[in-house]
């Protein structure tokens, strides 16, 4: 797993935990944490897919 994808995954897990805590406490700031979780998830998938495509192209030719 690329380092950037690992960092984005860690941010995703922490953002989800923060969102849960915020919503349990009744704080609407959890919406921001949910949005941050979505962005970090997309970043992680981007770097994972980019590495897979690079590996596939290097083994092809």
Q: Which two tokens stand for residue 4?
A: 């950037």
Domain count within the chain: 1
**pLDDT value for 26:** 94
**pLDDT value for 60:** 80
Q: pLDDT digit string (tens) for 11-61?
A: 999 999 999 999 999 999 999 999 999 999 999 999 999 999 999 998 886
Burial of 22 (0-12, 13-18, 19+ CB in 10 A): middle
DSSP label at residue 61: -
Query: What Å distances lie between residue 1 and 6, 15, 19, CA to CA?
Result: 7, 20, 25
Please tell me the pTM assigned to this model: 0.87
Give the domain range for residue 40. 2-58
Is the per-residue pLDDT at 1 higher than 90?
Answer: no
**pLDDT value for 43:** 97
């Amino acid at each position: 797993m690329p380092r950037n994808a690992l960092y984005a995954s860690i941010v995703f897990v922490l953002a989800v935990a923060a969102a849960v805590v915020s919503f349990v406490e009744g704080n609407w700031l959890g919406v921001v944490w949910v949005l941050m979780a979505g962005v970090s998830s997309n970043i992680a998938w981007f770097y994972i897919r980019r590495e897979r495509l690079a590996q596939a192209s290097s083994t092809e030719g």
